[in-house]
Amino acid sequence: MEVFTSSSMQVLPYTASSVGVARRRLLRDLARAGVGEVTACDAGLVLSELISNALRHATPLPDHTIKAAWQLRQDTMKIAVSDGGGPTSPSVSEPTGWAIGGRGLGIVDRISLRWGVSDEDGEITVWAELPVRYGSAESRLVTASARDA
């Protein structure tokens, strides 16, 4: 059985300002848990992309909200955003070089270990699982990677 070290869930208004609100709370939670800066930045980017996609491509939940949640485990974390669904299922696209958008799930796909979509009672949840490194271990990894480059 997997043990979660930390988790959080937010119900957010279906507005663009919710991206920043959720991202700030996630980053605060991860800093308190001792998660390294690179991991926290990746997690913040994934959360921002998932919320932005929900606002752009989906409908709100019945109370005109979306939900954002994260679960921090020892070596991984799961980020999830739930909405009321849209006309298409979330998928990675290959936008043209000059396209303004269409890269969000591609970014999530590259950063994440895995991601997926679940549909439960009309609530669509897009989730992503990321690797987690904590403070000093991550700094050593980044320093070693930069030195070896």
- Give the model's pLDDT for residue 145: 39
CB 50 within 8 A of CB 22: no
Range among 95-104, 113-122, 139-148 with highest mean pLDDT value:
113-122
Please say if the pLDDT value at position 141 is more than 50. Answer: no
Tell me the C-alpha distance between 16 and 146, whole Å.
Answer: 36
Please say if the pLDDT value at position 101 is more than 90. Answer: no
Q: What is the mean pLDDT of residues 14-42?
A: 94
What percentage of the chain carries pLDDT values higher than 90?
Answer: 59
CB 80 within 8 A of CB 127: yes
Tell me the C-alpha distance between 64 and 70, whole Å.
Answer: 21
All residues at 6 or more sequence positions from 104 whose CB lies less than 8 Å from its CB, including other chains: 49, 50, 52, 53
Q: Give the domains, in start order, of the chain with CATH numbers.
A: 6-87+106-148 (3.30.565.10)
Q: Which residue has the higher pLDDT, 149 or 10?
A: 10
- Give the model's pLDDT for residue 97: 61
Average model confidence (pLDDT) for the chain? Answer: 82
- Tally the C-alpha atoms within 13 A of residue 21's C-alpha that lie toward its C-beta: 15
Helix axes 135-148, 37-57, angle to 10 degrees: 90
Q: What is the mean pLDDT of residues 44-65?
A: 94
Tell me the C-alpha distance between 94 and 138, whole Å.
Answer: 31
Tell me the C-alpha distance between 23 and 50, whole Å.
Answer: 11
pLDDT digits (tens, 9 = 90+) for 60-83: 999 999 999 999 988 999 999 999
Please say if the pLDDT value at position 93 is more than 80. Answer: no
- Give the model's pLDDT for residue 142: 43
- Give the model's pLDDT for residue 149: 40
- Tally the C-alpha atoms within 13 A of residue 18's C-alpha that lie toward its C-beta: 24
CB atoms within 10 A of CB 112: 21
Tell me the C-alpha distance between 55 and 22, whole Å.
Answer: 13
What's this model's pTM, rounded to 2 decimal places?
A: 0.81
